[in-house]
Amino acid sequence: MAVMKVKLYGSEILRKKVAQLEKLPDHFETLIADMYETMNEEKGIGLSANQVGLDMSFFIVDFGLYDEKYGRQIFINPEILEMEGETLDEEGCLSLPGINEKVKRADRIRIKYKDANFTDRDEEYFDYLSRVIQHEFDHLNGIVFTDRISALKRSFIKNKLAALETEAKEIEAEETAA
């Protein structure tokens, strides 16, 4: 297993609507294992494929970090069918280290997706789990959580965002040169 590089705010792939999967990608189990290792290393509860540079519609979560009765789960080609209610809570993101902001989210969602066996699922989630899913689902559509705060609040963190963008560009330039 290997820890992967998490793409920072400013990376192009975080602004892309990623491609739907027709089938499970090759070496999917290894990929997922690496993604979980990356997520655990960074103490995250969710990670989307484009956060590790993959143009693929899926994300992983480890709900066990929130409540032991839940576990790890993979959401492929997710589609949110229903959203209801409103909650406000703090979020962070492995692609935006050092930034935490309160974000409005729906309280209840109904989501359709394929699981790790590429089997269709249709489930409801509430509260914090629903929040994590909405955050990851946003990633697959090129949206990051700071897009969902007010312009005023965003102006308070504009230096942090600009610094991340610069860092992301530098990393990409190094990778291209290598």
Interface residues with Zn ion (CB under 5 A)? 93
Per-position DSSP letters for 73-128, written without gaps between them: EEEEEEEEEEEE--EEEEE--TTSTT--EEEEE-SEEEEEEE-TTS-EEEEEEEHH
Measured from the CB atom, the residue of 93 and 109 that comes closer to Zn ion is 93
Measured from the CB atom, the residue of 113 and 136 that comes closer to Zn ion is 136
Rounded to a whole number of angstroms, the minimum distance from the CB of residue 94 to Zn ion is 6
Residue (of 132, 142, 147, 133) closest to 14 by Cα position: 142
Chain position whose Cβ is nearest to Zn ion: 93
Measured from the CB atom, the residue of 76 and 144 that comes closer to Zn ion is 144
Give the C-alpha separation, 76 to 3, whole Å: 21
Measured from the CB atom, the residue of 52 and 93 that comes closer to Zn ion is 93
Rounded to a whole number of angstroms, the minimum distance from the CB of residue 146 to Zn ion is 10
Cα Rg of the chain (Å, integer): 16
Rounded to a whole number of angstroms, the minimum distance from the CB of residue 139 to Zn ion is 6
Given the residues 37, 42, 82, 136, select the one marked as catalytic: 136
Give the C-alpha separation, 12 to 118, whole Å: 28
Residue (of 173, 85, 65) closest to 125 by Cα position: 85
Q: Catalytic: 136? A: yes
How many CA atoms does the CB half-sphere of 33 hold within 13 Å? Answer: 6
Rounded to a whole number of angstroms, the minimum distance from the CB of residue 101 to Zn ion is 12
Give the C-alpha separation, 160 to 174, whole Å: 21
Catalytic residues: 136
